[in-house]
Amino acid sequence: MKTRIALVTAILAAASLAGCVEDTGYTNPAPSSGLAPGSNEQAYYDDGCVAGTNDAKVKMSMAYQRHDGYDSRFEPYFRQGYEACWFANS
The string of DSSP letters for 57-87 reads HTT--S-GGG---S-GGGHHHHHHHHHHHHH
pLDDT value of residue 34: 86
Q: Is the pLDDT of residue 19 over 60?
A: no
State the residue range of the domain holding 36: 2-89
**Of residues 44, 40, 37, 39, the one with CA closest to residue 85:** 44
CA atoms within 13 A on the CB side of 76: 4
Tens of pLDDT, residues 37-50: 999 999 999 999 99
The verdict on pTM exceeding 0.75 is no
Average model confidence (pLDDT) for the chain? 79
What gap in Å lies between CA 31 and CA 18, rounded to an integer?
28
CA atoms within 13 A on the CB side of 3: 0
> What is the domain count for the chain?
1
Q: Is the pLDDT of residue 21 over 90?
A: no
